[in-house]
Structure 1
Amino acid sequence: MAIIAAFAMALEYLPHSINAIQVNYGLIPVTVLALRRGTKPALAAGLVWGLLDLLLRGLSDGGVLNVVQGILEYPIAFTVVGFAGLVAPAFQSALHAGHKNRAVALAWASVLIGTFIKYFCHFLAGWVYWGSYAPKGQAAWLYSLISNGSSAVGSSILAIVVVSALVLIAQHLFVPKPTQSLRQA
């Protein structure tokens, strides 16, 4: 989980802005973990990723206006990406049964769940805390919906394409290895 969180954080340093759209590459490794191991490990990785992003980028880049907004947009928003693991049992069943199309469809659902919940947190923060940056005459909720919605769509498309390709050509990434207990090691 820590490796996935670190990888997701490292991906944040790649250029990821296209006009006003910020594409979030870190959704990809967290979604792979979610589909491989389920919701709880993905939530934990998302939390670590969010804390790293808060400390390494949010505080230094002026992305934190106050404590509540900082908690909502970093630890909470990044943690909830782990809910992409809600479809992991069905995904694993489809993968083991050799139903590639069903596995890809469930991977899409996984990406959309994680992305929607993450960007809903950003939408709320944008509406409540960043609304003063809206163009004159534009409602704060609409400003947040446009800016965060476009980033959500861009991030979803990228993650869907990459995760789908991985499901089709590198299925071993999604198959969990049996864990050994410390007594057996």
Structure 2
Amino acid sequence: MKTQHYFNTRLLVEIALFSVLCVILDLFSFKAWGQGGSISLQMLPIFVIAFRHGLKAGSITGLIFGLLQLLLGAYILNPIQAFLDYPLAFMLVGSAGIFSKSIQTAISKGKNGRLIFFIFVGTLLGSLLRLIVHIISAMIYFSAGATGHQSVLAYATIYNVSYMVPSFILTTLIIMAMFSAFKRLLVTNQ
């Protein structure tokens, strides 16, 4: 019974530390857009937790980071936009955790190609779901930025893709390099 409690406490500590690490990485982001969005590695700790511990832990880490962003001064127009762009968007990044078991299996069997594949697919899924939420939010709340010849959907997509694609690429490359070199980072039963 004591061992189970230890692992629950350990996981909670990991989630808390990695949520704060998201905030720290966000401080070193490239913010070039007036209405939010930045090129950064803020998603990286969420992916690490998701790949180590699964969907639930990854989603909780993203949710906590989103709430921390709200507390630390997010760009807020109203409560619904705030919920979409912060807690929900980052909680969905944790959906990469659905590939946790596949990643654990690839590591245990020494299948580096499969490991890289599942890391790529997981980071793509988490980033894509976050992007979709940001596009929906932008279509609803930031449509004033669209010009007369540009649809709101095109504006929202171009704006959000402009920082999400570089963030996805940068995060994916770093996570693949990290986990290829240090597979133990992903193993939870050490």
TM-score w.r.t. the length of structure 1 is 0.89
The secondary structure found in structure 2 opposite 1:16 is coil
Which residue is 1:13 aligned to?
A: 27
1:53 aligns with 2:69: yes
In 1, Cα distance between equivalents of 2:148 and 2:28: 32
Shift of 1:134: 2.0
- Which amino acid in the other structure matches residue 180 of structure 2? L
Number of equivalent positions: 174
**Structure 2: which 5+ residue stretches go unaligned?**
1-14
Match among 82, 97, 102 for residue 85 of structure 1? 97
Map Cα deviations across residues 1-58 of structure 1 (whole Å, 9 max, x no partner): 0111000011111132367972131111111111111110111111100000111021
Map Cα deviations across residues 112-153 of structure 1 (whole Å, 9 max, x no partner): 011000111101001110011223432111111001112221
Identity of aligned residues (%): 28
Runs of 4+ in 1 over 3 A off after TM superposition: 17-21
The secondary structure found in structure 2 opposite 1:145 is helix
**Structure 1: which 5+ residue stretches go unaligned?**
179-185
Structure with the bigger RCO (C-alpha within 8 Å, sep 6+) is: 1
Equivalent residues of 2:29, 2:40 under 8 A apart: no
The secondary structure found in structure 1 opposite 2:27 is coil
Output aligned runs, 1:20-35, within 5 Å.
Answer: 22-35=38-51
In 1, Cα distance between equivalents of 2:142 and 2:167: 21
1:128 aligns with 2:144: no
- Which amino acid in the other structure matches residue 5 of structure 1? S
- Which amino acid in the other structure matches residue 54 of structure 1? L
TM-score w.r.t. the length of structure 2 is 0.87
RMSD: 1.6
Which residue is 2:176 aligned to?
A: 164
